């Protein structure tokens, strides 16, 4: 099994190298990995190192509360941060609370040994779904504690199969010092295969969005745009989301909308504007005067979405007609009904919100129309959902401190 795994890592690395001239993400990974060890050799070891590894930007948002808490509560440590994906590294390569930020080199025995020898981490956090055989094995051999945080386990994962590959994969789990999982089913699944070092801590993203809400800035232009109208904010939308939303927007001129598309390039924004029959304006071109007579405001820059949700009466979260929905918690923390597409089942917080009746999955336009019409006109029901939504988020705070208390009591 080791041989098959090693060959798969080699084959994947070869594919990245071959694709690099034609694919920007492959090119970024290939170039970034080449620079890792030269960069690590320049690390300053005046402080002991905590290594935090995230697959991508979404996992970074789960690891970020831990990094911030370590920075505040244990400033004697420095943070070494790695990413697998360009979508995480390229956006957070200058993250101010990490002394070092790099791509994770391919998971070979040689790379794992070299990286750990150079970095010399005292504590390691992998976030959510990261399982790399050689890195885990090398950390275990050196008695360096490795923690998995904000994890979710499902019965259909390889760990819980009795096939030869499943049994081999399962052995990686015994390299972790402690599992901090999001829910009780994950605890039960790990217990079933003999792993007892499990703590149900919850999802650290709740702590992150609460902090964002606490520090959220006022944006006067958004207040001017909303005025006395009801406002729906559609965040991180893709084309299938936008096709449904625009159909509703064009037939409901009395409702104001903010669309923050996932893709903010000019071509995509121009496409959105061309589909709208009502007055629209881009955020970068808007003033407090010009937004007042527009129905649609398109946020064509990144970094604002989490701060503007507080102005909304309802939120639509994009991605549910593709690979999966984007961050629902950024909206939920402000207490509002949330709508999204059908691909939400892998997101525990979304399934919980649906079961509580504070979020609504849709598969077609008629469902979107029905939900928006009902909730935008029924103030009492919307207020009830708002209270339930705030209660839900408040009840799930505290995962970060549970993790730090346990980790640093052992270190």
- Whether residue 86 contacts residue 12, with contact meaning beta carbons closer than 8 Å, is answered with no
Give a yes or no: residue 140 inside a domain.
yes
Tell me, yes or no, whether 253 and 328 share the same domain.
yes
Cβ atoms within 10 A of the Cβ of 31, count? 12
Give a yes or no: residue 272 inside a domain.
yes
CATH number of 225's domain: 3.40.50.2000
Tell me, yes or no, whether 165 and 237 share the same domain.
no
Domain of 234 in residue numbering reads as 219-395
Tell me, yes or no, whether 194 and 247 share the same domain.
no
Give a yes or no: residue 332 inside a domain.
yes
Q: How many domains does the chain have?
A: 2
Give a yes or no: residue 210 inside a domain.
no
Predicted structure pTM score: 0.87
C-alpha 218 chain-centroid distance: 24
Tell me, yes or no, whether 161 and 23 share the same domain.
yes
Give a yes or no: residue 208 inside a domain.
no
C-alpha 346 chain-centroid distance: 13
- Whether residue 172 contacts residue 131, with contact meaning beta carbons closer than 8 Å, is answered with yes
Tell me, yes or no, whether 231 and 378 share the same domain.
yes
Tell me, yes or no, whether 243 and 161 share the same domain.
no
Tell me, yes or no, whether 223 and 190 share the same domain.
no
Tell me, yes or no, whether 175 and 273 share the same domain.
no
Give a yes or no: residue 239 inside a domain.
yes
Alpha-carbon span 66 to 241, nearest angstrom: 33
Give a yes or no: residue 11 inside a domain.
yes
Tell me, yes or no, whether 389 and 405 share the same domain.
no
Q: Which of 155, 188, 158 is nearest to 173 (CA)?
A: 158
Residue by residue, pLDDT tens for the chain (411 residues) are 888 898 999 988 889 888 888 888 889 999 989 989 999 999 999 999 999 999 998 899 999 999 999 999 999 999 999 999 998 999 899 999 999 999 999 999 999 999 999 999 999 999 998 999 999 999 999 999 999 999 999 999 999 999 989 999 999 999 999 999 999 999 999 999 999 999 999 999 999 999 888 887 889 999 999 999 999 999 999 999 999 999 999 999 999 999 999 999 999 999 999 999 989 999 999 999 999 999 999 999 988 898 999 999 999 999 999 989 999 999 999 999 999 999 999 898 999 999 999 999 999 999 999 999 999 999 999 999 999 999 999 999 999 999 999 999 876
């Amino acid at each position: 099994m080791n041989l098959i795994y090693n060959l798969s890592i080699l084959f994947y690395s070869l594919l990245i190298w071959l694709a690099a001239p034609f694919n920007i993400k492959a090119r970024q990974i290939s170039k970034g990995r080449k620079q890792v060890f030269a960069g690590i050799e320049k690390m300053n070891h005046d402080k002991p190192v905590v290594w935090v590894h995230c697959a991508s930007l979404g996992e970074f948002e789960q690891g970020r509360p831990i990094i911030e808490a370590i920075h505040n509560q244990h400033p004697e440590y420095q943070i070494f941060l790695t990413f697998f994906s360009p979508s995480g590294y390229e956006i957070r390569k200058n993250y101010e609370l990490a002394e070092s930020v790099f791509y994770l080199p391919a998971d070979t025995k040689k790379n794992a040994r070299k990286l750990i020898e150079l970095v010399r981490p005292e504590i390691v956090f992998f976030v959510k779904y990261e399982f790399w055989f050689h890195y885990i094995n090398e950390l275990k051999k050196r008695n360096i504690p490795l923690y998995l945080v904000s994890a979710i386990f499902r019965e259909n994962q390889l760990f819980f199969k009795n096939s030869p590959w499943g049994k081999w994969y399962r052995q990686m789990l015994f390299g972790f010092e402690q599992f901090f999982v999001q829910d009780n089913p994950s605890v039960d699944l790990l217990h079933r295969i003999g792993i007892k070092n499990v703590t149900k801590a919850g999802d650290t993203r709740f702590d992150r969005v609460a902090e964002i809400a606490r520090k959220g800035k006022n944006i006067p232009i958004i207040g001017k745009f909303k005025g006395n109208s009801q406002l729906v904010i559609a965040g991180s939308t893709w084309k299938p989301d936008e096709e449904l939303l625009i159909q509703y927007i064009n037939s409901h001129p009395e409702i104001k909308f903010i669309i923050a598309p996932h893709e903010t390039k000019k071509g995509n924004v121009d496409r959105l504007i061309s589909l709208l029959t009502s007055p629209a304006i881009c955020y970068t071109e808007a003033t407090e005067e010009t937004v007042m007579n527009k129905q649609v405001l398109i946020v064509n820059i990144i970094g604002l979405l989490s701060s503007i949700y507080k102005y909304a009466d309802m939120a639509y979260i994009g991605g549910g007609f593709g690979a999966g929905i984007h961050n629902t918690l950024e909206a939920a923390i402000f207490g509002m009904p949330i709508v999204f597409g059908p691909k939400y089942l892998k997101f525990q917080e979304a399934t919980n919100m649906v079961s509580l009746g504070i979020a609504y999955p849709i598969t077609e336009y008629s469902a979107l129309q029905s939900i928006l019409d009902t909730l935008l006109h029924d103030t009492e029901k919307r207020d009830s959902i708002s209270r339930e939504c705030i209660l839900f988020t408040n009840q799930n705070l505290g995962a970060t401190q549970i993790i730090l208390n346990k980790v640093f009591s052992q270190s």
